[in-house]
Amino acid sequence: MSSGEIDLKGLSLAAALRTIFSLLLQQGHEDAESEARMLLLGATGLTRTDLILSPERALEDDAAERLETFLSRRLAGEPATRILGARAFWTLDLRVSPDVLDPRPDSETIVIAALEAIGPRKDMDLRLLDLGTGSGALLLALLSECPHATGVGVDLSHEACAIARENVDRNGLAGRAEIVQGCWTEGLTGAFDVIVSNPPYIESAVIAGLALEVRQHDPMLALDGGADGLAAYREITQALPAVLRPGGVAVLELGIGQGPAVSRLAEAAGLSVRAFREDLGGIQRALVLERRKTA
């Protein structure tokens, strides 16, 4: 069966799952099994338990039509998370839209690095800041792990702020998170114990060569880091000393090979490099900074 003649009507859940898996696998999708399951459950509204307990249950016609549409969109290059409008990140269920970066598992490295830096202080009344919050993924993940913390998420995009606010409510964190439209730290008052950011860091000239799923479905505002990919880091590192509390930490996500350059920018701004952390692929993904100690 080709993508142009998808017909799932009359199939059982198990047969539909096998068909979707096969088509995704033919197209070279590495996560074909998990994506097939995501699309099936999203189209039917069923749970994984339903699928396990009743695999021979017939796929209803309206669900089959939805699933055919979902599969056609996926085979055309649209990410499954975009199709379903949702992304699992950390322990969260996040709403995503074309207005926000689709948070990838690599970005969980930022959460891990921040929690390691916080250590036993995670149960204290910390104040958190997420610069370029997008869906709110980093901020909300940290708030879910720091029960007495409050936080602010800042994004330049009005639409992204709306998605982040929806995710605050969706994950039961209303009252602990404030989402503010703005440019990095402009207009913020007070100091923060933990600051995180996944800024745009891709070189402008490289974007056209990115995977279809990225260049056509992630917002350009969240991707384009300027001619050398460092434009956002220049602004952020200059702004950090004024809003980072003594003893606090900032954790920035890095693009491949950007560690040395971003470290130099941070040190020139009066910050000290505390640590790096690699993601599961062995790529240096998180840069942990602190205010330079004075004698």
Mean pLDDT of the chain: 95
How is domain 3-82 classified at the architecture level of CATH? Answer: Orthogonal Bundle (1.10)
Domain residue limits, the chain? 3-82, 86-291
The letter for the amino acid at 256 is I
Alpha-carbon dihedral 56, 62, 66, 72, rounded to 10 degrees: 80
- Secondary structure letter of residue 60 according to DSSP: P
pLDDT digits (tens, 9 = 90+) for 84-142: 999 999 999 999 999 999 999 999 999 999 999 999 999 999 999 999 999 999 999 99
First-to-final CA distance of the chain:
71
Beta strands in 60-189 (DSSP E): 86-89, 92-95, 127-131, 150-155, 177-181
Tell me the C-alpha distance between 183 and 198, whole Å.
Answer: 14
The residue that leads in pLDDT, 238 or 295, is 238
Contact criterion met (CB below 8 Å) for 223 and 255? no
CA 232, CA 223: separation in Å to the nearest integer?
Answer: 10
The confidence band for 294, taking pLDDT boundaries of 50, 70 and 90, is low
Residue 198's closest CA among 255, 119, 147, 143? 255
Task: With a cut of 50, say whether residue 265 has pLDDT above it.
Answer: yes
Residue-wise pLDDT tens digits, 174-223:
999 999 999 999 999 999 999 999 999 999 999 999 988 899 999 999 99
pLDDT of residue 268 exceeding 90, the answer is yes
Asked if CATH classification 3.40.50.150 holds for the domain at 86-291, the reply, yes or no, is yes
Q: Where are the beta strands (DSSP E) in 65-121?
A: 86-89, 92-95
Task: Tell if the pTM clears 0.95, that is, is over it.
Answer: no
- DSSP class of 200: -
